[in-house]
Structure 1
Amino acid sequence: MSYSTVYKVLFLISGIIFFGCKSKTENKEINPNEELQAHTGSWGDQGDGTYKNPVLNADYPDSDIEQVGDTYYMITSKQHMSPGMPILESKDMVNWKNVGHVFDSLSWAAEYNWDRMNGYSFGVWAGDLAYHEGRWYCYQIDYQHGLMVTTANNIKGPWSKPTMMLPKEKVLDDPAVYWDEEAHKAYVIINTGGKQKSESNTIEGNENRIYEMSWDGTEILDEGRLVYTGMGAEAAKIYKIDGTWYIFIAQWTMGDTSTKPGVKNPKNDRKQIVLRSKESIYGPYEVKTVLEKGSVFNNRSASQGALIQAPDESWWYMHQLIQNDDIPFQGRPQCLEPVEWIDGWPIIGIDEDNDGVGEPVKQHKKPIKGFPIEAPSTDDDFSNAKLGMQWEWNHNPRNSHWSLTERTGWLRLKASKVLPNDKGFGPNINEWTNNDGSDSDFWRANNTLSQRIMGVTTGTAIAKFDVSGMKPHQLAGFVRFGGVFNLLGIEVDTNGKKHLFYMNPLSKKIMGPEITSNELYIRTSNKSNQATYEYSLDGNTFKKFGPTFTIAFGKWTGDRLGFFSWNEKEDSGYIDVDWFTYDYDGPKAVMNE
């Protein structure tokens, strides 16, 4: 099948689903009478009334979910990526699709702009999504700036500019709010870490405080009250169920004190605990562990999420798997667990070892039947006036240097001069790297556009480029990056000649043949965490170039697929992207034309 003549069409032949790419003409290689079908894979909706965890096998960390009517809305963090705080929606808790972002850009600080790119690992962290009296609220803490809130009348926006509520000197991360309609009071719980810790608190770990807010949710009214301290305790959520207060908190259990919380160690476990009080939101509280790692995810820690309810009044819990572990996962995927209430405690998952604590399930019946398979967007032919919601920039983009309109149906990425390798530009050693190539031009080149990979069992992405607009000293092409980056593209020398090149995470290049064609197709495939690049000049015959390389979670980011373009000397040159398609081992909906 020619990728240059057929685009984004799923069809069934001999029980095998293939992916193709269409041209920008009406001549499509498809039988119009053939029914298009979504497909399933090793995770998510299985098409038989069940799902396999993760239900969302991609780097969508730090989720929070708010239900309004018959629809569930999820937000997840993504640090310095712009736009920030992705929003997804679902009708059944299993199938999720993109509907927007809370932050059009990370507008509140200069370090997130294209001319600084100095906000790596900061920006948008775990947030809380709430709906109250017809208005949407999103709360989050930027570690470098403090607690903020933004609001909207419609979940899809526009969202207001962030309002700062508490300074960074008082708060660490993970806010969550609750409106008590009976008492007509509003609250926010925050992990304040050790920032307000007094000598009298001898308990090791993070302090979690509850502040009273104004009823409109935009101001803090008091100094806060300490309600819990625990090792790595964060990601609290407040619920009031049948008159009883519940606070869900993620907390580390240290089986080996030689390592810190978050460091990969099979003896340590991040568990979900629940605080329960029938007296007051301030306690006193009983404490119980309700979820711990189990056998189905290779002893991978599980916690931090949201409690939700189905129309049949059954309870469910969406949570992330912790990132510091081995394949088969990339980033922090989302899992859905049934919840059983036992003696007034919400036990999450299945108690597989009969110790009174739940563990994650691998496969389970869906909470809500009757809805079709859906998934976050991946494929794109760049024919819309706006970028697809799956795409995010590495820091805020230089908007004058990209376009969907200068060449209709193509994405144009103009090359800016790479930022200086000086203090105040690009990543800092203490926040981003362990001397692993972070002084590379790639991390200081603006307008890198990418999307998440969907699992790592298998995956193949292909893009078509037009390189005729490239200029001397420009480098552009395809990138995979997360903890490390690997590039395949074109470099133009001083004389204007174009050569294929591969670049590894330490910026070491392997130079390839001269490319005289205007068209270049790049394909990247992975099996587990091993990936390769191939290139083609006609879209039919592909040739491997560069080594097999390892994709890796790191710097709090899973692997991503996308495009880069920069110039070593000046603002000059551009590359055009015609289309991008991505096949992976997981649920994928039929693309709408």
Structure 2
Amino acid sequence: MHKLGAYLVLLTSFLYLSAGSPLATNALDQRATTFTNPPLWEDYPDLEVIRIGDAFYYTSSTFAFSPGAPILKSYDLVNWTPVTHSVPTLNFGTKYNLNSATDRGYVKGIWASSLRYRNSTDTFYWMGCVDGSKTYVWTASGTNALKNNGEVSSWNWKAAATLSKCYYDCGILVDDDDTMYVAYGSTKIMVAQLNKDGTAEVKSQQVYVTSDSAYIEGSRMYKINGYYYIFVTKPANEEWVLKSKSPWGPYEMKVLVASIAGPLTNAGYAHQGGIVDTRDGKWYYVAFLDSFPGGRIPVVAPITWTSDGWPQVVKVDNAWGKTYPMPVQTSKTVPAPVGTDSFQGTALSDEWEWNHNPDTSKFRLVGGAGGLLLQTATVTNDFFSARNTLTHRIIGPKSSGTFRLDISKMKDGDRAGAALFRDIAAYIGVQKEGTAVKLVMVNNLNLDANWATNTTGTVAAAGPTIDSGTTDLWLRVQADITPAFGTSTQRTTTFWYSTDGSKWSQLGPAFPMTNAWQFFTGYRFAVFNFATKALGGEVAVKGFTMAKL
């Protein structure tokens, strides 16, 4: 059965540490004995976590952002860094190329999807239903992850299949005999058996339906000690566990968590996500909290098992713990989420995502000392219809994102700058009219409830005259994404500029952010450059720095 001895040791050490021992920070420190929830204060929702050797991998939904379905890596379930995207290009239809104001994919695209590694073929599988109609499969083979203790030196994601069926909120399982299954659905939970390659369906049947027609989703499928498990969420406050001796059922159900309090105030309840084990047989549940305006952020808790095979979350005072013992003690580390990116190398780092598929002919990395050239890719007066807006998640609870720009090659009518990106947005930037360059703070950039552009922005403040030949202009977005979900409190963002990188001035009023969940993603830092008259202008992004405040 389950390794109860290991869990009892874990629980004993947890009770000892929570009784008053000093807490380590979330810095990348292998000496830390505890961690604080949330381990990663960034918007990575609809998650699934797997382990290969010493490496944990985490996938997340990304909607219309491209590349999609990021994969993060960790050695301890606490410190994470993005390492690849399962979907390098959103191959779901023309709207994901942001062709026009009426042909775009906001709030569509990649929702809850699944990631698994198949030992027998050395293949990572990503699978997700898009637009409620088709399921897409991307694979990465030849990574040698199993042979290299979970390490992957290079990824080679390829579009493997498109199924004319929606595996809604799916969870893949590779069984002990190498048969591949996928659990999916809402309220009526289905299981499909896939073909040998995992690219087509062999059969599918319903395995569970809620007795009171309660809505459940977010399937994650496992086989542990002879039992099949399907974890599902009852949004947005419960996680259920289905258990059976057969993938086809019948399944029993027990509630794992229901409206569990903590670990942050003014945030939602921990739910959805999935479970993963460590090398030494300990198990953890990784869920997320609705934490707007910052989005949906991960939290981690240990789980124990009953003698008859049901998981139970280790609670603190009947709530999700604010601190727990470190899941893994290791000297292996990953890069910290804060710091400076000077855009060196031949490709963008995996922390970046465009607002839709980019026009690849309109940007390039300079190489050498670094820098990213952004040419205007769209003629529009609509910020939300401009291609090649590059976004970066915000780390909470408070942080700043600073872009260093060369604006000397902007053309008449161009708009460029640093934005706070979501459906209710604002930016600080430059507007070039003729030979004059105006430094402005713009708000009132809004999408409506159907994600069509409602307002195209209002200049809320104007700064001093900027020389059109300026090769160094620093623009900063300073955001407070402390949770305010379910409250009338509006967290604010301020916008700043500097012409020397040391003296800073605020421009415009503090911008109130929305706590609404319907856009699904949290606010992001972004850099943009678009034309209102004609293409041909460009800006150079010399660097980006994210810092905690």
Could you state the TM-score of these two structures normalised by the residue count of structure 2?
0.82
Shift in alpha-carbon separation, 1:175–1:82, aligned structure 2, 3 A: same
**What is the CA–CA distance in structure 1 between the aligned matches of 2:273 and 2:341, rounded to whole Å?**
30
Which residue of structure 2 aligns with residue 227 of structure 1? Answer: 208
Which residue of structure 2 aligns with residue 199 of structure 1? Answer: none
- The residue type paired with residue 511 of structure 1 is A
How big is the shift at 1:136? 1.3
Q: Greater CA deviation, 296-305 or 76-85?
A: 296-305
The answer to whether the 8 A contact 2:190-2:204 is kept is no
Q: Does the alignment pair 1:503 with 2:457?
A: no
**What is the CA–CA distance in structure 2 between the aligned matches of 1:231 and 1:413, rounded to whole Å?**
48
Which residue of structure 1 aligns with residue 315 of structure 2? Answer: 350
The answer to whether the 8 A contact 1:418-1:567 is kept is yes
Which residue of structure 2 aligns with residue 163 of structure 1? Answer: 161
Which residue of structure 1 aligns with residue 255 of structure 2? Answer: 289
Shift in alpha-carbon separation, 1:531–1:166, aligned structure 2, 3 A: same
**For 1:525-564, what per-residue CA distance to the aligned partner results, in whole angstroms no more than 9, with x for missing partners?**
2344322111111222111111111234551111111211
Q: Which runs of 5+ in 2 are unaligned?
A: 1-23, 144-151, 446-456, 483-490
Shift in alpha-carbon separation, 1:90–1:539, aligned structure 2, 3 A: same
**What is the CA–CA distance in structure 2 between the aligned matches of 1:91 and 1:584, rounded to whole Å?**
23
Q: Does the alignment pair 1:547 with 2:500?
A: no
* Residues 229-308 of structure 1 aligned to structure 2 (within 5 Å): 229=210, 230-252=213-235, 270-278=237-245, 280-292=246-258, 293-298=260-265, 300-308=268-276
- The residue type paired with residue 180 of structure 1 is D
**What is the CA–CA distance in structure 2 between the aligned matches of 1:564 and 1:407, rounded to whole Å?**
23
How big is the shift at 1:373? 5.3
Q: Which runs of 5+ in 1 are unaligned?
A: 1-39, 194-205, 253-268, 354-358, 420-439, 586-593
- The residue type paired with residue 105 of structure 2 is G
* Residues 54-453 of structure 1 aligned to structure 2 (within 5 Å): 54-116=38-100, 118-132=104-118, 133=120, 134-153=122-141, 154=143, 156-168=154-166, 171=167, 173-182=168-177, 185-191=179-185, 193=186, 206-229=187-210, 230-252=213-235, 270-278=237-245, 280-292=246-258, 293-298=260-265, 300-323=268-291, 330-343=294-307, 344-350=309-315, 352-353=317-318, 359-371=319-331, 374=334, 375-376=336-337, 379-405=340-366, 409-419=370-380, 441-453=382-394
**What is the CA–CA distance in structure 1 between the aligned matches of 2:68 and 2:339, rounded to whole Å?**
18
Q: Does the alignment pair 1:512 with 2:463?
A: yes
Number of equivalenced pairs: 481
How big is the shift at 1:352? 3.3
**What is the CA–CA distance in structure 2 between the aligned matches of 1:41 and 1:491, rounded to whole Å?**
42
The answer to whether the 8 A contact 1:377-1:390 is kept is no
**What is the CA–CA distance in structure 2 between the aligned matches of 1:407 and 1:56, rounded to whole Å?**
32
How big is the shift at 1:302? 1.3
Secondary structure of the equivalent of 2:384? helix
The answer to whether the 8 A contact 2:429-2:441 is kept is yes
**What is the CA–CA distance in structure 2 between the aligned matches of 1:288 and 1:79, rounded to whole Å?**
31
**What is the CA–CA distance in structure 2 between the aligned matches of 1:238 and 1:311, rounded to whole Å?**
20
Shift in alpha-carbon separation, 1:45–1:285, aligned structure 2, 3 A: farther
Secondary structure of the equivalent of 2:383? helix
Q: Greater CA deviation, 475-484 or 402-411?
A: 402-411
Shift in alpha-carbon separation, 1:245–1:417, aligned structure 2, 3 A: closer
The answer to whether the 8 A contact 1:137-1:151 is kept is yes
**For 1:155-187, what per-residue CA distance to the aligned partner results, in whole angstroms no more than 9, with x for missing partners?**
64211114112324xx5x2111223334x6332
Which residue of structure 1 aligns with residue 475 of structure 2? Answer: 522
Secondary structure of the equivalent of 1:446? coil
- The residue type paired with residue 181 of structure 1 is D
- The residue type paired with residue 238 of structure 1 is M
Shift in alpha-carbon separation, 1:207–1:214, aligned structure 2, 3 A: same
How big is the shift at 1:115? 2.4
The answer to whether the 8 A contact 2:462-2:508 is kept is no
How big is the shift at 1:378? 5.2
- The residue type paired with residue 360 of structure 1 is W
**For 1:52-92, what per-residue CA distance to the aligned partner results, in whole angstroms no more than 9, with x for missing partners?**
11111101111111211111111111111111110111111
**What is the CA–CA distance in structure 2 between the aligned matches of 1:109 and 1:407, rounded to whole Å?**
36
Shift in alpha-carbon separation, 1:140–1:376, aligned structure 2, 3 A: farther
- The residue type paired with residue 538 of structure 1 is D
How big is the shift at 1:45? 7.0
The answer to whether the 8 A contact 1:536-1:542 is kept is yes
How big is the shift at 1:49? 1.4
How big is the shift at 1:42? 7.0
The answer to whether the 8 A contact 2:338-2:548 is kept is no
- The residue type paired with residue 492 of structure 2 is Q
- The residue type paired with residue 426 of structure 2 is N
- The residue type paired with residue 97 of structure 2 is N
Q: RMSD of aligned C-alpha atoms?
A: 2.3
Shift in alpha-carbon separation, 1:141–1:376, aligned structure 2, 3 A: farther
Secondary structure of the equivalent of 2:261? coil
**What is the CA–CA distance in structure 2 between the aligned matches of 1:377 and 1:174, rounded to whole Å?**
31
Q: Does the alignment pair 1:534 with 2:496?
A: yes
Which residue of structure 1 aligns with residue 485 of structure 2? Answer: none
How big is the shift at 1:377? 6.3
Shift in alpha-carbon separation, 1:550–1:162, aligned structure 2, 3 A: farther
**For 1:95-127, what per-residue CA distance to the aligned partner results, in whole angstroms no more than 9, with x for missing partners?**
111111111111231110142461111111211
* Residues 479-498 of structure 1 aligned to structure 2 (within 5 Å): 479-493=419-433, 495-498=434-437
**What is the CA–CA distance in structure 2 between the aligned matches of 1:482 and 1:540, rounded to whole Å?**
28
Secondary structure of the equivalent of 1:443? helix
How big is the shift at 1:241? 1.8
